[in-house]
Amino acid sequence: MEIAKDCFYTKEHEWARIKGNTAYVGITDYAQASLGDITFVGLPKAGDAIKQTEFSATVESVKAASDVYAPLSGKVTAVNKDLAAHPELVNKSPYDKGYFFVMEFSNPGEKANLMDEAAYRSYVEGLSK
Amino acid sequence: MEALDTGTLKKTPLCETHVSMGAKMAPFGGWLMPIQYDGILAEHAHTRNEVSVFDICHMGEFLIEADPVSSGLDRVVTQTIVSMPIGSCRYGFILNEIGGILDDLIVYRMKDKSWMIVVNAATIASDEKHFLKNMTGKYSFKNVSDETGKLDVQGPKSKEILLSIFGDGINSLKYYTFKEFLLWGERCIVSRTGYTGELGYEIYIPASRVVELWNLLLKDKRVKPVGLGARDTLRLEIGYPLYGHDLDAMHTPLEASFDRFVDLTKDFIGKSALLEEKKNGLKENLISFKSETRRSPRNGFGIFLEGRRIGTVTSGSFSPSLSVGIGMGYVSEKLEIGAQITVKEGAVEIPATIVKKPFYNKTSL
């Protein structure tokens, strides 16, 4: 299982790659592997306000639909349009081509609620025990 | 994630094999079954284009020795069996007195008075009771589900694979017929039937030899193992019903539009209820619908017509062959092909169109 070094993580298996006050957001390799083949991604719109730990997107696999929560609070600035026709990018490239959206976050203090790579790795290892 | 309590679940002889091959396992009908190996989409495509093997040992088999009329067997099932040729099989139902479907099943005529009946895994015990309660006089009934292994081999290349294992006898098997073969000295039954819409076969072999047959099939690199996840998307694309979802004791075969598997010229349990229903009109209808997006309708979603709720989805999935959502469900109104509905649950709203079954018809069947 791959865990990107340059991201921060939630317990619900979302990642945020933070640069300045923007963040790319997606779901982790662990999440895509548990979901299986992803067939649809429901994204927010640019301009939508989202809140840390609250609903931000939907991801559907053949067997189930799951909510994706915002890792930080702020405003969506762009979404990954490629996912409309190619949701399988989330399976193939969860930390790169399969990102969900880009956001501007408003409260840098919220970063403290996220895990770094090492903390997320031990969290996930704990789940499979 | 919670640990799966697998202690109370039944396991097929292939359970350890599935785990060692990396399958994702999950409960189905009281059994611990493989849901997927490589991924549902890849397994689905492999079955449509090549050939796949499915572990179906969980399903039930009954062996019955009986005169169909004097034993009452003919009254228990809805399909015509008295005139069935030996070596043929036929799909149908067992019903309760009010016409509700207790199970869907396939009857195999082995000899003049010798039958094999193949039933769903979750209903083995209740079906057995139903047969025993309703048969009379001189007959024998054996539930051989535990000692019978079953593998389904499905896909356009399935015939080549079966020819290499069972020989030329496979050539003359027509759709819904079967033959007995000897493999390693064991009696096997191979029928040209299946649940994928593709050319395919179902193989019955003693449970003690099923792992060997599985391994032999997979020795041919064209064959891949496929789990119940793709089995579900494959059957739904053809419009085959799943018992417990699209068929249940709350609905009749007429409501499910399966009239052709019900012989109203003979007597059977539930017939008077069906005749009554024909006279008074159906309460509900099983419809098939297709959406224009990749979004999946799911079991339990509401079906709406012009804002009014008229029914509930019983099967819904992303269709791997069509790349859109498809589903079936019961509605309380008669809808024409082409009618527009909305399938809804919470914030999810999926516009859909009523279509004819099958959803997908470019198969090798």
Alpha-carbon distance B4 to nearest alpha carbon in chain A (angstroms)? 11
Mean pLDDT, rounded, for B106-127: 98
CA-based nearest distance A36→chain B, Å: 6
Domains of chain A: 8-116 (2.40.50.100)
How far apart CA B181 and CA B192 sit, in angstroms, is 13
Dump pLDDT digits (tens) for B292-316: 999 999 999 999 999 999 999 999 9
Average pLDDT, chain A: 96
pLDDT band at A129, cuts 50/70/90?
low
Average pLDDT over residues B63-88: 98
> Are B35 and A60 a contacting pair at CB < 8 A?
no
The residue extents of the domains of chain B are: 10-59+146-238, 60-142
> Residue B289 in contact with residue B297, Cβ under 8 Å?
yes
pLDDT at B1: 37
CATH number of B10-59+146-238: 3.30.1360.120
Task: For domain B60-142, give the CATH number.
Answer: 3.30.70.1400
Measure CB to CB from residue B41 to each of A62, A65, A127 and give the nearest one. Answer: A62
ipTM of the complex: 0.88
How confident is the model at residue B3, as a pLDDT? Answer: 47
Interface test mutation site (partner B, options A28, A40, A62, max chain B beta carbons within 10 A): A62
Digit-coded pLDDT (tens) for A12-71: 999 999 999 999 999 999 999 999 999 999 999 999 999 999 999 999 999 889 999 999
* Average pLDDT, integer, range B16-26: 96
Report, as an integer, the average pLDDT of A103-107: 96
Chain B positions touching A63 (Cβ under 8 A) are 35, 40, 229
Q: Each residue of B352-364: pLDDT tens digit?
A: 999 999 999 999 9
Model-level pTM?
0.94
Question: pLDDT averaged over chain B?
Answer: 96
Rounded mean pLDDT of B55-82? 98
| Cα–Cα distance measured from residue A2 to residue A95, given in angstroms and rounded to the nearest whole number | 9
For position B2, what pLDDT does the model report?
42
pLDDT tens string B318-354: 999 999 999 999 999 999 999 999 999 998 999 999 9
Query: Residue B347's pLDDT is what?
Result: 87
Rg, Å, chain B Cα set: 21
CB within 8 Å of chain B, chain A residues 88-117: 88, 91
Q: How far apart are CA B267 and CA B285, in angstroms?
A: 24
Peptide bond into B358 cis (omega under 30): yes
Q: Please name the residue of chain B whose CA is at the shortest distance from the CA of residue A88.
A: B41
Q: How far apart are CA B340 and CA B355, in angstroms?
A: 10
CB atoms within 10 A of CB B212: 15
Alpha helix (H) residue ranges in B15-117: 15-20, 40-49, 73-76
